[in-house]
Amino acid sequence: MDLSGGGFWIIDDTGFPKKGKHSVGVARQYCGVLGKQDNCQVAVSISLASEQASVPVAYRLYLPKEWAQDPERRQKAGVPADIGFATKNEIALQQLETLLAEGAPRYCVLADAGYGVDQAFRQRLTDLGLPYVVGITSSVVVWPPGIEPLPPKHYSGKGRPPLVPRRTRLRQPVSVKDLAHALPANAFQTISWRQGTNETLSGRFAAVRVRHAGGNIGKARLHPEQWLLIEWPAGDADPLKYYLSTLPDDIALNDLVAQAHMRWRIERDYQDLKQELGLGHYEGRGFHHHAALSIAAYGFLVTERIAAGKPAGAKKNFVVRQVPALPANYIPRGSPARAAARVRLNHHNLLPAQLSVDRTPRATSLLRATKRKATLVTQ
């Protein structure tokens, strides 16, 4: 994989529908494969991605509270004693911290709104020196461009110094949805970000500098400015997606859009891992061992595809093989070694079929039904 132009850490989780209650971590929870709450296992993973390819480099089973707090189920399933409950966001951060401790580069982090709405998660990425482009929901509250809260109250010298910025009746943050509706039409531009299967992918985007308002007033802090990226398809009543990003303030809109949409690669990873390499077809124990083998095979195929020069947006990760031409003296299997030349058959000069009309017709044997007398058998 070519990382000379930089890379990305893509965070996501994937579900595995399951029946019963004995598989480790199985519970009724959101399953992305089914698009609803159902009985499943969930794993959190991080993929290393570039413009060329992507491959998972961290993978861990999510253990729900009902499993983490049930000693009997843990012992029966062989869950290690040091594995406790952790949220998906906490698992992802632990995976990132482990990668960085091993010398991994500080690439931009990409994640969907399931992770991006968590202010503590975003703040931890910043503390680790990792820029990010993460999805958020329409209800996230920000200070719009040109409007900021008043400074905290003056410190009287007693107790803790005030940190909460002040708001007034006329100075209030707004939801990103309301901010999007307040933008003029000329704030949106049509941007293309990559070649899809059938056509170039494009959409309407606007990007403005905002400050996150921190949710509840008691928890609000004056956060640094960052990008709010809004994707609003033409003709739709409301925007489709929202992103917050700490990428540089001088980044071009095209680059911001392209990096936000790089997250599609992890969806492709999961699709190929489950459909082609059996990641989702496991019915036993050793969950992480099975995943490690599937991911190792996937990494090998990605390497082979890159070596073969297959395009980054190719349908599959398998190598297109060159079929050699047949030699001039090739004889198909089963053919005579020196077969005589055959005269070309002329379908227009065939002799007419000779049907004799002198022959006495023979009687045709017919299978006739015979009447049998029914016999009643009694006991």
DSSP code of residue 235:
T
The residue to which tokens 């929202």 are assigned: 242
Give the pLDDT band of residue 189 (cuts 50, 70, 90). very high
The residue among 24, 2, 22 whose CA lies nearest residue 290 is 24
Per the model's pLDDT, the better-predicted residue between 125 and 368 turns out to be: 125
Most confident segment among 113-127, 148-162, 258-272: 113-127
Tell me the average pLDDT of the chain. Answer: 81
Contact 245/224 with Cβ under 8 angstroms? Answer: no
Contact 110/9 with Cβ under 8 angstroms? Answer: yes
Cα(186)–Cα(169) distance, integer angstroms: 29
Give the pLDDT band of residue 218 (cuts 50, 70, 90). very low
Q: For 209-213, 224-228, 241-245, 328-332, which range has the lowest pLDDT when averaged over its residues?
A: 328-332
Per the model's pLDDT, the better-predicted residue between 93 and 158 turns out to be: 93
The residue among 95, 37, 12, 61 whose CA lies nearest residue 285 is 61
Q: What pLDDT, on a 0 to 100 scale, did the predictor assign at position 364?
A: 41
Give the pLDDT band of residue 367 (cuts 50, 70, 90). very low
Average pLDDT over residues 73-88: 89
Give the pLDDT band of residue 311 (cuts 50, 70, 90). low
Q: What pLDDT, on a 0 to 100 scale, did the predictor assign at position 307?
A: 85
Cα(179)–Cα(199) distance, integer angstroms: 31
Q: What pLDDT, on a 0 to 100 scale, did the predictor assign at position 337?
A: 57
- Both structure tokens of 253: 């809109």
Give the pLDDT band of residue 159 (cuts 50, 70, 90). confident
Cα(270)–Cα(260) distance, integer angstroms: 19
Q: What pLDDT, on a 0 to 100 scale, did the predictor assign at position 376?
A: 43
Quick one: 332 exposed, middle or buried, by C-beta within 10 A (0-12, 13-18, 19+)? Answer: exposed
Give the pLDDT band of residue 62 (cuts 50, 70, 90). very high
Give the pLDDT band of residue 369 (cuts 50, 70, 90). very low
Q: What pLDDT, on a 0 to 100 scale, did the predictor assign at position 312?
A: 52
Burial 29-39 (b: 16+ CB within 10 A, else e): bebbeeeeeeb
Residue 193 has pLDDT above 60, yes or no: yes
42: left (phi over 0), alpha (psi -120 to 50) or beta: beta
Cβ–Cβ contacts within 10 Å for residue 94, how many?
A: 14
Tell me how many degrees the CA angle 147-153-157 measures, rounded to the nearest 5.
155
Cα(12)–Cα(311) distance, integer angstroms: 24
Cα(123)–Cα(221) distance, integer angstroms: 12
Cα(126)–Cα(134) distance, integer angstroms: 12
Coil, strand or helix at 47: strand
Average pLDDT over residues 356-367: 48
Give the pLDDT band of residue 216 (cuts 50, 70, 90). very low
pLDDT digits (tens, 9 = 90+) for 132-154: 999 999 999 999 998 887 777 77
Residue 263: phi, psi to the nearest 5?
A: -65, -20
Average pLDDT over residues 344-363: 52
Cα(106)–Cα(128) distance, integer angstroms: 8
Give the pLDDT band of residue 1 (cuts 50, 70, 90). low
- Both structure tokens of 324: 């050699």
Which domains does the chain carry? 8-151+166-307 (3.90.350.10)
Q: What pLDDT, on a 0 to 100 scale, did the predictor assign at position 289?
A: 86
Give the pLDDT band of residue 370 (cuts 50, 70, 90). very low
Q: What is the dihedral of CA 24, 110, 145, 173, to 10 degrees?
A: 0
- Both structure tokens of 259: 């990096």
Cα(179)–Cα(150) distance, integer angstroms: 20
pLDDT digits (tens, 9 = 90+) for 30-52: 887 788 888 988 999 999 998 88
Which residues neighbour 53 within 8 Å (Cβ) at sequence distance 6 or greater?
1, 265, 302, 305, 306, 312
- Please provide the DSSP assignment of 115-136 as one string: HHT-HHHHHHHHHTT--EEEEE
Give the pLDDT band of residue 360 (cuts 50, 70, 90). low
pLDDT digits (tens, 9 = 90+) for 239-269: 999 999 999 999 999 999 999 999 988 888 8
Q: What pLDDT, on a 0 to 100 scale, did the predictor assign at position 122?
A: 95
- Exposure of 242 in the CB half-sphere (CA atoms within 13 A): 24
Residue 365 has pLDDT above 60, yes or no: no
Q: What percent of the chain has pLDDT over 70?
A: 78
The pTM is what?
A: 0.76
The residue among 248, 172, 171, 173 whose CA lies nearest residue 207 is 248
